[in-house]
Amino acid sequence: MLNGYIGIVSRRGLCQIQIERQEVLQRIYRTATLGKHSPRIGFWATLPEEAARHISTLVLHGECHEALRILNQSARESGHLLPLHQ
């Protein structure tokens, strides 16, 4: 089954990935905007559940570049989260 996920990418690779929910989205926006000196990009992606579990496991084990590679291969759709101006 496909689900929507959101997360953060930095120079280290994929830093976070979570299933898309409003409270998670707000946290991702805050985290991405706090990275002024170390650029972070918020993203969204549509992924099969199995791929998302595998990617999450890679992130937990510090395999951030590999997780990003698998995300790029597995995502059916993806894009950047545009910044909110408040």
Q: Cα separation of 50 and 33, whole Å?
A: 29
pLDDT of residue 34: 63
Q: For residue 46, what pLDDT is reported? A: 97
pTM of the full structure: 0.82
Is 73 strand, coil or helix? helix
* Of 41, 45, 40, 38, nearest in space to 19 by CA: 45
Mean pLDDT of 64-79: 96
The lowest-confidence range among 15-19, 46-50, 66-70 is 15-19
Secondary structure percentages of the chain, helix, strand, coil, to 5 = 40, 35, 25
Give the closest residue to 4 by CA, choosing from 82, 85, 86, 78: 78
Q: What is the pLDDT of residue 67?
A: 97
Q: Which residue has the higher pLDDT, 63 or 32?
A: 63
Average pLDDT over residues 29-37: 66
